[in-house]
Structure 1
Amino acid sequence: MDEVYDVVVLGTGLKECILSGLLSVDGLKVSLTILFTILWFYVLPTNLNGDLLNHMQQVLHMDRNDYYGGESTSLNLNQLWKRFRGSDTPPAQLGSNRDYNVDMIPKFMMANGGLVRTLIHTDVTKYLNFKAVDGSFVYNKGRIHKVPATDVEALKSPLMGLFEKRRARKFFIYVQDYEESDPKSHEGLDLNKVTGRDLISKYGLDDNTVDFIGHALALHRDDSYLDQPAMDFVKRVKLYAESLARFQGGSPYIYPMYGLGELPQAFARLSAVYGGTYMLSKPECKVEFDTDGKAFGVTSEGETAKCKKVVCDPSYLPDKVKKVGKVARAICIMSHPIPNTNDAHSVQVILPQKQLGRKSDMYLFCCSYSHNVAPKGKYIAFVTTEAETDNPEVELKPGIDLLGPTDEIFFDTYDRYEPTNQNSVDNCFISTSYDATTHFESTVKDVISMYSQITGKTLDLTVDLSAASAAAEE
């Protein structure tokens, strides 16, 4: 720990691990705090020649916690029981402890989205296997419906009447054909000036149609996008359709085999290839500041790793963040898929705020033994939302009621934080807490923004997505 590093990364949450991977690829000397020691000869390819070894940057890994992954860890059944029930002896009828990998921050990846592009950019896909998610649904007028994302699906959807289907079809054709560099596809609209509301008015779409397009396709969390330039709205809908087409399955999402806990481990392997050294259970990782208030290192057990910049999650610098909300969630173990989802083994259902008379959308996430996160015949479902009350059991009831019978159910809440510091002043780069969404789009935006702040560069994610297709199991 006597080395001087370019960056010290505190925390093994997914955001911190992605940033460590990106910085390692850039050739920075990085210190990433993580839990488990991964043997050098296990993670480092044996066929690397001496020249490459000499050019690799040294990376130090530590963690104050006794588990891997930070807030985004995955738990086996015994760990889940101990965390929520205070005991590590769950009922035998739930199956083998080792067959469970229960994500604490459950999210799917858009197949054509930012996280997949980041995985390919860093070559982390070689450590992972993915499988397409079976279904993408939206709650509308008390029922669950498949989300239509193309002009063909719009004509088949029971969400709309005959005339509305025709209007929606024209809108989807416009989005599918839109190319920012081709004025002929713009139909006379400047999407950097025209608002989302103006664009929707042009096609005469009714409120229910706007609701599922804005929230289940564009993945907006509120309706503020309607009064903003329509460019982002169109790009989001286009991304959904492109992701859906990538695997030609029932949804635009993919998900790693064995759960999201595989992602931090994959980025840890990447960091090891660039010269990583691992230390475990490092207590009280304290960020050190000089008289000018600039971070210059991290101290643990009397030793200080010096650095130029510190990257961390909010828990490491609580005096430099503010609380901005709270997430409520229910974690459910079931013996059946979510009803009315075509028996999908993995599925996302979005409940738009207006459909529930709420300020925030609600999300259902379900995965199962098909992704190796539960024993055969078992399903893991989550219901999450931005908390608007102090009673998660009541607040989450509309989503829980859609699940059918549950074998076990756990309720939980956690606070969300955002940084308040100026990183140009203190050299500290703090991630935001994970939101209630069950997709990674907002997570990746935070990572890319932090990367630009840390490096002063724009991350180029214009990569060949065929690697994602190769890594995914149909």
Structure 2
Amino acid sequence: MADYPSIDPSSFDLIVIGTGLPESILASASATAGKTVLHLDPNSFYGNHFSSLPLDHFSSFLQSHSHCHSQQPNISPPTSSSNCLHLKHNNLFSHVHISNPHSEYLGPSNKFSLDLSGPKLLFCADPMVNIMLKSGATYHIEFKGVDATYVYRGDGDDKLMTVPDSRSAIFKSSVLTLKEKRQLMSFFKTVQEHILELEAALTSNEEMRRARTISDEELECPFIDFLTTKGLPSNIKSIILYAIAMADYDQETPLLRKDFVIKTKDGIKSLALHNMSLGRFVNASGALIYPIYGQGELSQAFCRCAAVKGALYVLRMPVTALLIDKESNCYKGVRLASGQELFSHHLVMSPSFTVPLSSTISSIRDVQGDSSESSSRSDVEGLVARAVCITRVSIKPDLSNLLIIFPPRSLYPEQMTSVRALQLGSGLAVCPPGLFVLYISTMCDAVAQGKELLHAAMNALAHLLSRKHESSTTMESDCVEEDGPNFLWSAIYVQELRKGSSEIIVSCPTPDGRLDYRDMLDSTIKLFHEMYAEVEFFPETEDAENAENDE
């Protein structure tokens, strides 16, 4: 049996189980608000499903957390003062397939830092960056810019089209016709005028007036309809929808679910964010940035901030059960694998764990006045198919870090979701020199659908590599097999998407299928305010202003 340390004190305002990104943000925000926080993790590393891991650890984590490798914690007997609800391990991954045909070219495993939930990026001006500045997390992490973004076109000789996301990029574009350049410039001008009008209404402290450039009716209509009324051709609409507004689902085909359709007001917000991100930081020429050493650094940065504010951290510490007061049927604490019992007013749990449904759980929800929308267990709301590949050559010989968008129907006619591929090089300390890492992901309704999309994108990328590097080794130019491109190494897997939920017991959301962190951050802020309704989430400080000036 492991020799676990004793934890002192035994009572806290908040206990957090798991060091995933939402859990780490909640721990940091709570510690900043003056709460006593104990942060536990059964793993020996930070980040959980948001981790960046060495190559061999990445493979073992996927396999040990897949449905075919169920893990159950040790169960210790309950005490007389509490009901004991044993935690159940919740495996989020399935259909894991790892291919390692050319391991001799990879080098040491610890030279890799692979994201479990890639591809993920941050817009330079998005709310996550602002929260990092306010919290001080930027003191513990460094970023580099993404060199370029491309849209994949299934036809034509040049299958990758550079995204013209600024005035200068539009003028320099060799793909757009003069008419298309004028149309795109006119559209961006319309959007900019609308944004300026809204800012003027807000800064004048008057009630927000109706925007003159874009009407309220237009703001509520589908974004694709608004783009069509502006006379934009299909290739420009595709760029705006999928490479700037980052739509996940096909916007041009009637959809079964209305919540998949982006409204004009939301599309405008995304365009505004993209525009504000351009040129914000000196080390990023474009709108997107990525953390050096991988996105797992985000969790660690917030954990460091929490520790500075007094939070207590204990890794390699499994929690086996929740303690429920017999009289009130309310949560009151946790039992560790060591047998020690700890107590807190609130509990935050990683989506790695669930509490089996029981009459006791129902009693907890009844006591808290909980509705059917809130549960101690997160509900599966969809799937995201992911792939990680390692190659010896870059898709663009002169660039290391780039993003490729495969819009709906660009890979095959039945493709209804966007596929995103992020290539990163050794300059970001995620792989050895001379190698590149490719992260690919897509939303899907079924495993077969997701894997078909991944294989199609991987084969398209392999074809791009072989075309652009015909002078390279035979291995790169002959890299298509029945199950996808034969890269040096690849992993394909499917991850469940689970929503966060809250009561006294808070369950955090899983990594989502979006490119950025906005949805995850919105959910995390909501969970924080449901725990501490009157507390500000990372209040402004003088240190935060200094941190932004240092960027």
**Superposition TM-score, scaled by structure 1 size:** 0.82
Which residues in structure 2 correspond to 1:132-211 (within 5 Å)?
A: 132-142=145-155, 143-157=159-173, 160-177=176-193, 178-179=195-196, 180-182=198-200, 186-191=211-216, 193-195=219-221, 196-197=223-224, 199-211=226-238
Query: Do the aligned partners of residues 86 and 285 (structure 1) sit closer, same or farther apart at CA in structure 2, a change above 3 Å counting?
Result: farther
Using structure 2 for the length normalisation, give the TM-score. Answer: 0.71
Structure showing greater Rg = 2
Structure 2 letter corresponding to 1:332:
C
Cα distance in structure 2, aligned partners of 1:238 and 1:446: 21
Alignment-mate amino acid for residue 296 of structure 1? K
Identity of aligned residues (%): 24
Q: Which amino acid aligns with 1:231?
A: K
The match for 1:418 is 499
Partner of 1:435: 512
Query: Partner of 2:521 in structure 1?
Result: 444
Distance in 2 (CA, whole Å) between partners of 1:189 and 1:87 is 51
User: What SS does structure 1 have at the residue aligned with 2:516?
Assistant: coil
Q: Conserved in 1, the CA contact under 8 Å of 2:38 and 2:313?
A: no
Name which of 252, 255, 258 aligns with 2:287.
252
Measure the CA separation in 2 of the matches of 1:235 and 1:465. Answer: 24
Partner of 1:467: 547
Letter in 2 for 1:215: Y
CA-based RMSD:
3.1
- Could you tell me which residue of structure 1 aligns to residue 343 of structure 2? 306
1:10 to 17, 21, 25: 17
Correspondence for 1:74 among 52, 55, 60: 52
2:391–2:488 contact (8 Å) kept in structure 1? yes
1:283 maps to a residue whose letter is P
Partners of 1:136 and 1:252 within 8 A in 2: no
* Shift in alpha-carbon separation, 1:24–1:89, aligned structure 2, 3 A: farther
Deviates more, 1:460-469 or 1:103-112: 460-469
Partner of 2:443: 386
> Is 1:233 aligned with 2:310?
no
Cα distance per residue 1:25-76 (max 9 Å; x no partner): 222222222xxxxxxxxxxxxxxxxxxxxxxxxxxxxx22344311111111
Amino acid at match of 1:238: A
Contact 2:406 2:418 in 1 (8 A): yes
Distance 1:302 1:336, change over 3 A: same
8 Å contact from structure 1 (residues 348, 438) kept in 2: no
SS of structure 2 residue aligned to 1:321: coil
Evaluate the alpha carbon distance shift between residue 80 and residue 460 of structure 1 in structure 2; reply closer, same or farther with a 3 A threshold. Answer: closer
Please name the residue that 1:402 is paired with: 461
Work out the CA distance in 2 between the residues paired with 1:220 and 1:468. 29
Q: 1:434: Cα distance to partner?
A: 1.2
Structure 2: state its 5+ residue gaps.
1-6, 64-96, 202-208, 252-257, 357-376, 466-475, 477-486
**Inter-CA distance 443–347: structure 2 relative to 1 (3 Å threshold):** farther
- 8 Å CA contact 1:101–1:259 kept in 2: the answer is yes
1:268 to 298, 303, 306: 303
Aligned partners of 1:365 and 1:438 also within 8 Å: no
SS in structure 2 of the partner of residue 5 of structure 1: strand
CA deviations over 1:324-372 (Å, ceiling 9, x no partner): 2222122111111124xx6321122122224343232111011110111
Residue of 380, 399, 402 corresponding to 1:344:
399
Maintained 8 Å contact 2:42/2:317: yes
Choose 158-167 or 438-447, whichever is displaced more: 158-167
Residues of 1 paired with 2:384 and 2:532: CA distance?
Answer: 31
Matches within 5 A, 1:73-152: 73-83=51-61, 91-106=103-118, 107-142=120-155, 143-152=159-168
**1:86-109 Cα distance to aligned partner (Å, 9 max, x none):** 999993431233321111112111
Matched letter for residue 212 of structure 2: E
Q: CA deviation at 1:3?
A: 3.4
Is 1:371 equivalent to 2:408 in the alignment? Answer: no
Alpha-carbon displacement from aligned partner over 1:289-336 (angstroms, at most 9, x marks no partner): 345553322221322221222222222225512212222122111111
The 1:198/1:388 distance shift into structure 2, 3 A limit, reads: closer
* Cα distance in 2 between the residues matched to 1:220 and 1:462: 32
2:382 is equivalent to residue 325 of structure 1: yes
Q: 2:33 aligns with which of 14, 18, 26?
A: 26
- Give the length in aligned residue pairs: 436
In 2, Cα distance between equivalents of 1:317 and 1:166: 54
For the residue of structure 1 that corresponds to 2:232, the secondary structure is: coil
Instruction: Check the 8 A contact 1:244/1:251 in 2, yes or no.
Output: yes
Does the 8 Å contact 1:135/1:146 carry over to 2?
yes
**Pair 157,90 (structure 1): closer, same or farther in 2 beyond 3 Å:** closer
| 1:236/1:460 CA distance change after superposition, 3 Å | farther
- Tell me by how many angstroms 1:415 deviates: 1.5
